[in-house]
A and B are shown apart, each in its own frame.
Chain A
Amino acid sequence: MDVTFRHLTKRFPARRGSSAKEVIAVDDFDFTISDGELVGLLGPSGCGKSTALNLICGLLTPTEGEIFFGEENVTAIPVEKRGVGMVFQNYALYPHLTVYQNIIFPLQNLKGKDRLTREQMRAKAEEAARLVQIGALMDRHPSELSGGQQQRVAIARALVKLPRILLLDEPLSNLDARLRLQTREEIRRIQLETGITTIFVTHDQEEAMSISDRIVVMRDGRVQQIGAPQTIYDDPANLFVAQFLGTPPINVFHGTLQGRRLLMGGVPVLATDTDEIRQITVAIRPEGFIVDPSVPFSCSLQAVEVMGRDVSCVCTHPAMVNESGRMRAIIDAGTRPDAGVSDVHFRLKPEKVLLFDPDTGERLYAELSTLR
């Protein structure tokens, strides 16, 4: 089932008596999610991603714009009739019902010709339970389950009525690190098995990158970029996206374009094809550095952290945008600088260097290449 947003906007009025202004939680959403896709809504907290999810399921009504499921305009359809499945952040299992009763709860709401017999309900519940592998827990109460098991029950409950769309609100945030890895693979597997269009919300870029077909990066209610995880990582539309994705985060420098060269801290680092002369913001992925004593660009080394195959060099450089001047370069362990060295010289990989407008943060495109 496709999901299409047409100029979807949600404004929350300013609260009376407080100084806060009107909040635009979702600002002019206008894109389509294709059938069977797993899409992650990614953004820092307060960016409006949860609001967007609540608009899709119908818990909130949009201020402007429309939502379509396939050809059907569902904007005015109340939440009960929208036929979506939703997994809540804290799972929202009914504590007084058993796992089985929780799972069939949505089925018991069906009326008229959709009404199911007891046997049909059991069959569907067992099917859903099998999918999330909790068949042995059917008679327990939620309080007797671990966090991961509760999560599975919540997913089973959302899936049992074969929803048109599956929504997950921060599905992994209440799990510990090990379970998180396991569960996100699980979600991916279940989604592929059922083929249901799935939208999930997260503030964790790693989570979003690892399982999504496509990611929607949001900030202050506006969509910043939509695309496949790798595309967004390699080719971010603006500085915010570049900074939000990737661990360790991208290093941001003040730079200058001059004489067909890119200069950082006064020294040339890369060649370009443009004749423009201007100030520019340079962002370099940590893996974009290569130790090369023969080039002029140097940073003062603070610490070396061992990561196994790679090492992470914590350095400072005066051209860094952040005040601490700290940056991080991930280099091959074989090229690690000797102990006691205070300055490291780096050559840059051109494909890992991104240019942005210092005022707007918009991406600037210029051909970059290694200096000869």
Chain B
Amino acid sequence: MKKLVSVLTWILLIVWALLVLFPFYWMLLTSFKSYGAYNAEFIPRFIMTDPTLDNYREAFQGVPLLKYLWNTLFFTLCTTALMMIISVLAAFAFARLRFPGSDLLFLLLLSLMMIPAELVVITTFVTLTDLGLRNSFPGLILPSVASVFYIYLLKENFEQIPDSLYYAAKVDGTSDLKYLLRVLCPMCRPTLMTITILKIIECWNAYIWPRLITDDPRYYLVSNGIQELRENGFGRENIPAMMAALVVVSLPLIILFLVFRDRIMEGVARGGLKG
């Protein structure tokens, strides 16, 4: 009985692991099949016979994939950097610089976490359209910068640093800003890194807002790029080239994940994001 449970456990886990990995395998596999070979298959082939890099060439030449990647990188870096600066400053103010009404203000801030993005996207879209910010990087970046959740997470972390360090820094003639940069941030580096990585993942996969605010391919991010590719580009018939594009788009994040997997998983577990 005990043995049977153990065997079933392994089977369950291995089957699910295969189900998780299979789409990635299929994506990779198909991306190396030639256009002709793929379309001529009567029965799908599970192994590679004639690997070719043509699809990758096609992916980069057929659409401005490099441009999309560059846009996404730029968008991700700007958004993450701005978000970090704003959140760190705000969290510091809430955690350290007590001021009249700070508790109330923080409570109000927390209540903003309950507002679903779908509700505010509409007016934001109208506002930015009125400002003529459609198809522009400011239009892409600005609404994605503010994050109540990260401010909350940082504030909690900042508050764990003993008060006496702040007083010691003050007695030694340190300004608030310098204390933040020289003492608080280095001490909270794990949390800062977790937040940075989570935000990068969020930005890289962003689809809904970029889709609304851009309709000019020059400002497409990878998500919009591949969607566009699939509906109006070669993705309609050239599946292998499509898969090659998907591999290129997915790879950076998978590498990032494999490098920082413990930190990312711990951060997500702590934050309970993507609710």
Contacts and interface: CB of A to CB of B under 8 A. Distances in A.
Interface string A55-90: 001110000000000000000000111111110111
A321 to B, nearest CB: 40
Interface string B142-175: 0000000000000000000010110111111111
A83 B173 CA distance: 7
B172 A106 contact: yes
Interface residues of A, number: 25
Interface residues on B, range: 10 to 19
A123 interface: no
Contacts of B165: 92, 94
A88 B172 contact: no
A85 B167 CA distance: 11
Nearest to A80: B173
A240 B172 CA distance: 37
B173 A88 contact: no
Given A90-B162, A94-B183, A96-B186, A157 B167 contact: no
- What secondary structure prevails in chain A residues at the interface with B? loop
Contact of B170 (A59, A89, A90): A59
B187 interface: yes
A36 B143 CA distance: 60
A81 B167 CA distance: 13
A296 interface: no
Contacts of B186: 96-97
B171 A84 contact: yes
Contacts of B167: 59, 86, 88, 92
Contacts of B162: 90, 92
B171 A57 contact: yes
Given A89-B164, A90-B164, A94-B183, A79 B170 contact: yes
B164 A106 contact: no
A344 to B, nearest CB: 51
Most chain A C-beta atoms within 10 Å of own C-beta, residue among B165, B167, B171, B173: B171
Interface in A140-172: 157, 161
A106 B182 CA distance: 12
A161 B170 contact: no
Nearest to B164: A92
Contact of B172 (A90, A95, A157): A157
Nearest to A82: B171
B189 to A, nearest CB: 8
Contacts of A86: 167-168, 171
8 contacts: A82-B171, A85-B171, A86-B171, A90-B162, A92-B167, A97-B186, A105-B172, A106-B172
Given A106-B172, A109-B172, 12 more contacts: A57-B171, A58-B171, A59-B167, A59-B170, A85-B171, A86-B168, A86-B171, A88-B168, A92-B165, A96-B189, A161-B172, A161-B173
